[in-house]
Amino acid sequence: MQQVNLGLVGGGTVGGGVVNALQRNGALMASRLGVELRVVKVAVRDLKKARLATLSSRLLTTDWRQVVNDPAVQVVVELMGGTTIAKEVVLAALRLGKSVVTANKALLSAHGEELFAEAARSGANLYYEASVAGGIPIIKVLRESLVGNRVLHLAGIVNGTCNYILTRMKLEGADFADVLAEAQRLGYAEAEPSLDIDGHDAAHKVGILASLAHGFWVKPEQIHTEGIRHLSKLDLQFAAQLGYTIKLLGIVKSLPEPLPAKTKSPVTAGRRKSARVQVSVYPALVPNGHVLASVNYAFNAISVRGDVVGDTLFYGRGAGSEATASSVLSDLADAALDLKHGSIRRVPDFVAHDGQGQVCPLAEVVSRYYVRLMVLDQPGVFARIATLLARAKIGISSIIQPEGHAGETVPVILMIHDAPNLAMQRVLAQIAKLPDVKSKPVMIRVEAFD
C-alpha cells in the first residue's frame, strides 16, 4: 500500500487531537483511501511538556525547519497558530512544492491572498477545512459541493463562546458579565476574551467564507465587526417577546446593484459590473422559526443559500480537538489522494471568478432594526424621538414601552422598518443627545432571511 508521510508543526491541543485520531482510525482511512498516512516528524515548542497524544521522542524536534525541509515529509500540517512563524512555515513548505494542511483562520484571514498565490506558483495545494467551524465541512461544501451555485446568502454562527454566552443569557435571564465569568471558569472563554466576544474570531472565519464564495479576497479591514459586550438580558428578553432570538452572525450577502446613472462614461460603458457583497459580523435578531435560532450553547451552524440548490444548513461542533481533527483528517485524505493520483490541481484551493467583486460598506446596507432606549418616563419623550425618526424618513413598525412611574428611567423598544445603516447611525446619534435619553441607544439588526 502506498504511504504518504506527514510532518506536523504544532503538537498542542489540535495537533494532539490529529495524532490521536490517526492512531484511532488510521487503518480505516487506509482501507478507504488505499493510502497509509504516517506521521514521521513533529515540531513542538517544549520537548518536556505533557501532551494530549503519545508521541515517540525520536519524532520530536523544536525546529520547524527540520520538519519542512525533511525530504521524507510529503505533506506539512501547520497547527501552531499565530500569523508570524506560521506564515514562514506555510510559505517555506509551499516553495518546496509540498502541500500544506492548516487550521489557522487568523493566518488565512491576514495573508490568504499571498499564500494561495504561492500555492498556485509552486503547484502545491493549501488545504484549510479546519480553519472555519471546527468539524463542519463548510469549506469543501463551498468549493466542491456547491461549485455549480452562486452563493446568494450565507449566515453563520461561527463562534461557540459567543453562542454559549447568548444561549445562557436567553434561557436563564442572566447578565452578560456573570455568564462570561462562568464561561471563563469552565474553559469556554479565554481569560482575555476580546478575540471572541468582540467578534474578531468570527470575522476571520467569515472573511475566508466570503472570499471562497465570491472569488475575490476579502481583507479583514473590509469586514464590519461588532461583538456582544453591549447586549443586556433585557435585549434577550424583549427579543423573545417579539418572536426572535439574538445570535452573533457572520453575514455574507449578495446585494442588488445600485440604480444605474442616466448617462454612462465611455470609459466604463460595456464593462462587466462588479459584484457587491455585504461581509459583516454583528449580533442579529433571528426569527424563532428559522433553524439558526435553535442552535444553542457552543455549537456552530451555517446557513447557505445557492441560486440553484436553495437553502441548506450545516451544523456541528465548531471547536475542540476532536472536531477540528476530523476536518484536518478530511484534508489529509484529499492531499493523500492528490499525491496518489497526481491530481494536485484537481480542485483549486482558491480561485478568482466572476470578475473583481467588492465589499459594500455597511453604511449602504439596508436592514430592519431593534432599538432599545432608556428614557425618563414622562410626557413628550416619545414624541421627540418620533419626530427625529420622521425627519430622517425612518418608519417605526412597533413599540414596546413597559409601565413605569413618572420620572423613572424605563426601557422603550422600537422595531424599525427598512433603512440604510448610515441613516440609522445618524438619527441614533441625535436621539442620544436628547435630555430624556439616559444611556447610549442599543441597536441590533434584524436578519429576515427573505
Q: What are phi and psi of 230, to 5 degrees?
A: -80, -5
Q: What amino acid is encoded at 221 in this protein? A: E
How far apart (Å, rounded) are the C-alpha atoms in residues 22 and 16?
A: 10
Which grid cell sits at 20?
490521536
The angle formed by the CA atoms of residues 400, 238 and 318, to the nearest 5 degrees, is 150
Helix (H), strand (E) at residue 102: strand 99-102
Which one from 98, 105, 205, 247 is the annotated catalytic residue? 205
**Of 354, 346, 379, 388, nearest in space to 212 by CA:** 354
How far apart (Å, rounded) are the C-alpha atoms in residues 234 and 372?
A: 9
340 is catalytic: no
- Where in 326-441 does DSSP place strands (E)? 358-359, 366-376, 396-400, 409-420
Residue 103 backbone zone (phi > 0: left; psi -120 to 50: alpha; other: beta): alpha
Q: Are 360 and 278 in contact (CB under 8 A)?
A: yes
- Please state the length of the chain: 450
**Residues catalogued as catalytic:** 205
